[in-house]
Copies of this chain bind each other. A is one copy, B any other.
Amino acid sequence: MRPLFHPPIEAVRLEAVLHALSDPVRVAIFADIAGADCARTCSAFASVNDRQIPKSSLSQHFKVLREAGLIRSERQGVEMHNTARCAEMEGRFPGLVAAIVKAHEVEAAGRTEGIEGLAAK
The answer to whether B18 touches A22 (Cβ under 8 A) is yes
The answer to whether A100 touches B14 (Cβ under 8 A) is yes
Q: How many copies does the complex hold?
A: 2
Residues of A near any B CB (own CB < 8 A): 10, 13-15, 17-19, 21-24, 27, 92-96, 98-100, 102-104, 106-107, 110
The answer to whether B94 touches A99 (Cβ under 8 A) is yes
Task: Give complex CA distance A100, B96 in Å.
Answer: 6
Chain B contacts for A107, CB-based, 8 A: 13-14
Task: Give complex CA distance A106, B89 in Å.
Answer: 12
Give the contacting residue for A24; candidates B15, B95, B99, B110; CB below 8 A.
B15
Task: Give complex CA distance A17, B99 in Å.
Answer: 13
